[in-house]
């Protein structure tokens, strides 16, 4: 007998049994459907192959490398990113705050360095019109379509060109197959030096012009070169491209940043050595703090005997180097402090009276930079420099140490000092202390023109005790022009000029302006001027110290280059009797040819 209700389509079983049946079916058939999901995995190789299909031969070469590296544990790009000072590509892109509007697309070009000191990027449409410019590490917002992206160092012809396709609603990273190069310039004591050098690509003979170290006193950092992979030659300014002395080479690999240390003489900028060694290798303390230390020591004992003369000399040499640094980098702040102690002891014939301390230096420095904008920010720096021991010199084949008076006349009353060594400067002299602050601004970094300025206020204090200075014998004057005996003694002696104790203190504004202009595809012009105008203790705003440098380079043909340089230096503090004022011109017509 029916109760008037409709029967259910499912038998009267627990609902749990139905659910278990559905779950079992999904487990059985899920692998079948999972294997047919739409789309494909986007690998480094496929990205490069897609770019290579649009005519980018460099990308095709890297694609082949990526294909081979894909079978290894890590891709070539992963290994290359280990060399960057900046975060990895994915971290950079995720940290970028640029918003791509609806209907637009984006292109992201990663940076290799931490503080965006690389050349700017420019984007052109297929008709050659410039549509955008940006810096590395930032998303470039563009309308969907085909574009040419240019980046890199050198003239317009030397810049790297990439064909890109922008798609709506997507930000596509440009896989970096170019190379980065940072060249830190130091002297033989590993002290940071402004320096200057020339850079040329060896395998294709492509000169890129001049580069410089960093002026720490003006809050500068070393600019990075962005170049095509290859072998590059770094040599002193003015030398020929084929020079076999005074040069070093470096090989740049795709996607890698190379830190190169160039060692130069601070007087004439001759190259003493170099290599791919980081100036301040660090250990990460936290995400923002890094520290490093270098300690070295050496001991040497040497004996030399002249059996014919029955004479012998024993020497003992000991050296110690302690160098430490502490860095803090978190945008927009950059702070670094360095402490360096360098000591050397040389003892002859086991006599401590003949001990010479060389080198002998204590240096501590600190610089703080606050980059309010990527192109602008204040800086402050402090530096202290002195030596611990007396500065002595040793005579070799000379008969004695002899003296002149303050007017350079031979001082017969002072007699002669026949000691093996003589103290020319006491301990803690000179003692220098420098303090400065200002602002740093990259006013423009366009394709044809770059302009940077450093404007600040600096002070310098130097203390010199009573000391002696070695002079050449031809500077000695005589009370009697016919005194042949005195001239003979001078020719066989080390002549010393007495200098009185002096304190030099100057305070005033300092400014540096540098720029580069690219003229056509083959010519560049560079210029820099530095001015220091003390206001204390003497008012010298109308008589400042300055240094002016200018360079013009024109590539006449593939094998011929024309360079012109001009330099002028003026130093005129009140403590100097005669100002230091020099100028120089240089013209080089350099020919290079070699079979390939």
Confidence of residue 34 (pLDDT cuts 50, 70, 90): very low
pLDDT of the residue at 296:
80
pLDDT of the residue at 71:
40
pLDDT of residue 360 exceeding 50:
yes
| Edge-to-edge order in the sheet of strand 400-403 | 400-403, 493-499, 467-471
pLDDT of residue 70 exceeding 70:
no
Report which of 451, 447, 566, 443 is spatially closest to residue 514, judged by C-alpha positions: 451
pLDDT of the residue at 162:
93
pLDDT of residue 45 exceeding 90:
no
Lowest mean pLDDT among 63-72, 78-87, 265-274, 525-534: 63-72
Mean pLDDT of 144-158: 89
How far are the Cα atoms of 432, 452, 457, 504, 510 from residue 533, in angstroms, in the given order?
19, 20, 10, 15, 6
Choose between 106 and 587: higher pLDDT.
106
Q: What average pLDDT does the chain have?
A: 80
Question: DSSP of 101-162, one letter per residue?
Answer: PTT-EEEE---SSSS--S--EEEEETTS-EEEEE-TTSEEEE-SEEEEEEE-SSSGGGSEEE
pLDDT of the residue at 510:
87
Lowest mean pLDDT among 174-178, 328-332, 443-447, 458-462: 443-447
- Rounded distance between C-alpha atoms, residue 403 and residue 416, angstroms: 8
* Full set of structural domains in the chain with CATH: 44-178 (2.60.40.10), 179-279 (2.60.40.1120), 298-443+453-500 (no CATH), 509-596 (no CATH)
pLDDT of the residue at 395:
87
pLDDT of residue 175 exceeding 80:
yes
Confidence of residue 29 (pLDDT cuts 50, 70, 90): very low
Q: pLDDT digits over 364-414, tens only?
A: 989 888 877 767 788 888 989 999 888 999 888 788 999 999 899 999 888
Confidence of residue 217 (pLDDT cuts 50, 70, 90): low
Choose between 448 and 421: higher pLDDT.
421
pLDDT of the residue at 167:
92
Lowest mean pLDDT among 160-169, 275-284, 520-529, 530-539: 275-284
Confidence of residue 109 (pLDDT cuts 50, 70, 90): very high
Confidence of residue 562 (pLDDT cuts 50, 70, 90): confident
Residue 504's SS3 state is: strand
pLDDT of the residue at 577:
54
pLDDT of residue 43 exceeding 50:
no
Question: DSSP of 73-87, one letter per residue?
Answer: SS-HHHHHHTT-SSP
Instruction: Indicate the Cα dihedral angle 239, 242, 246, 251, nearest 10°.
Output: 120
- Rounded distance between C-alpha atoms, residue 106 and residue 142, angstroms: 6
Looking at mean pLDDT, say which of 124-133, 205-214, 374-383 comes out highest.
124-133
pLDDT of the residue at 39:
44
Burial bucket for residue 486 (CB in 10 Å: 0-12, 13-18, 19+): middle
What percent of the chain has a predicted confidence (pLDDT) above 90?
22
Asked if 60 and 67 count as a contact pair (C-beta separation under 8 A), the reply is no
- Residue 518 tokens, joined: 């690219």
Q: pLDDT digits over 245-281, tens only?
A: 889 999 999 999 999 999 998 878 889 989 887 776 6
pLDDT of the residue at 447:
63
Mean pLDDT of 227-248: 87
pLDDT of the residue at 225:
93
Residue 311's SS3 state is: strand
Q: What are the phi and psi torsion angles at 178 (to 5°)?
A: -90, 180
Question: Residue 332: is the preceding peptide bond cis (ω within 30°)?
Answer: yes
């Amino acid at each position: 007998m029916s109760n008037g209700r409709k029967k259910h389509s499912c038998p009267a079983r627990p609902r749990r049994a139905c659910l278990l049946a559905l779950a079992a079916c999904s487990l059985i058939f899920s692998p079948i459907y999972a294997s047919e999901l739409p789309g494909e995995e986007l690998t480094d190789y496929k990205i490069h192959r897609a770019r290579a299909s649009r005519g980018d031969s460099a990308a095709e070469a890297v694609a082949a490398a990526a294909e081979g590296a894909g079978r290894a544990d890590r891709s070539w790009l992963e290994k290359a990113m280990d060399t960057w000072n900046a975060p990895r590509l994915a971290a950079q892109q995720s940290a970028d705050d640029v918003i791509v509007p609806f209907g637009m697309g984006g292109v992201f070009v990663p940076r290799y360095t931490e503080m965006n000191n690389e050349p700017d990027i420019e984007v052109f449409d297929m008709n050659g019109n410039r549509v955008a410019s940006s810096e590395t590490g930032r998303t470039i917002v563009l309308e969907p379509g085909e574009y040419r992206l240019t980046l890199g160092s050198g003239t317009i012809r030397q810049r790297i060109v990439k064909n890109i396709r922008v798609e709506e609603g997507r930000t596509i990273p440009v896989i970096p197959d170019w190379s980065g190069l940072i060249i830190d310039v130091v002297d033989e004591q590993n002290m940071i030096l402004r320096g200057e050098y020339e850079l040329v690509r060896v395998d294709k003979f492509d000169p890129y012009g001049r580069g410089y170290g960093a002026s720490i006193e003006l809050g500068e950092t070393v600019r990075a070169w962005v170049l095509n992979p290859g072998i590059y030659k770094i040599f002193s300014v003015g030398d020929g491209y084929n020079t076999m002395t005074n040069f070093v080479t470096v090989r740049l690999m795709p996607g890698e940043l190379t830190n190169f240390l160039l060692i130069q003489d601070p007087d004439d900028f001759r190259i003493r050595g170099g290599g791919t060694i980081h100036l301040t290798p660090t250990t990460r303390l936290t995400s923002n703090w890094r520290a490093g230390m270098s300690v070295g020591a050496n001991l040497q004992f040497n004996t030399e005997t002249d059996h014919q003369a029955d004479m012998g000399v024993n020497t003992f040499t000991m050296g110690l180097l302690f160098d430490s640094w502490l860095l803090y980098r978190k945008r927009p702040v950059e702070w670094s402090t360095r402490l360096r102690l360098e000591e050397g002891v040389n003892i002859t014939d086991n006599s401590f009276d003949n001990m010479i301390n060389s080198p002998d230096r204590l240096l501590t420095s600190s610089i703080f930079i606050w980059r309010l904008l990527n192109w602008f920010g204040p800086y402050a720096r402090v530096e202290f420099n002195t030596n611990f021991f007396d500065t002595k010199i040793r005579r070799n084949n000379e008969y004695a140490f002899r003296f002149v008076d303050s007017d350079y006349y031979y001082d017969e009353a002072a007699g002669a000092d026949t000691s093996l060594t003589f103290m020319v400067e006491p301990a803690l002299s000179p003692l220098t202390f420098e303090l400065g602050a200002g602002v740093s601004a990259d006013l423009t970094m366009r394709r044809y023109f770059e302009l940077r300025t450093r404007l600040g206020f600096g002070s310098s204090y130097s203390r010199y005790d009573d000391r002696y200075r070695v002079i050449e014998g031809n500077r000695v004057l005589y009370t009697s022009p016919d005194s042949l005996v005195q001239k003979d003694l001078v020719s066989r002696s080390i002549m010393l000029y007495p200098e009185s104790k002096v304190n030099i203190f100057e305070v005033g504004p300092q400014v540096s302006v540098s720029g580069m202009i690219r003229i056509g595809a083959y010519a560049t012009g560079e210029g820099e001027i530095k001015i220091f105008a003390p206001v204390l203790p003497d008012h010298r705003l109308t008589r400042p110290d300055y240094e002016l440098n200018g360079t013009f380079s024109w590539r006449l043909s593939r094998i011929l280059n024309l360079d012109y340089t001009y330099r002028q230096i003026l130093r005129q503090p009140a403590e100097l009797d005669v100002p230091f004022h020099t100028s120089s011109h240089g013209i080089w017509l350099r020919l290079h040819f070699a079979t390939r």
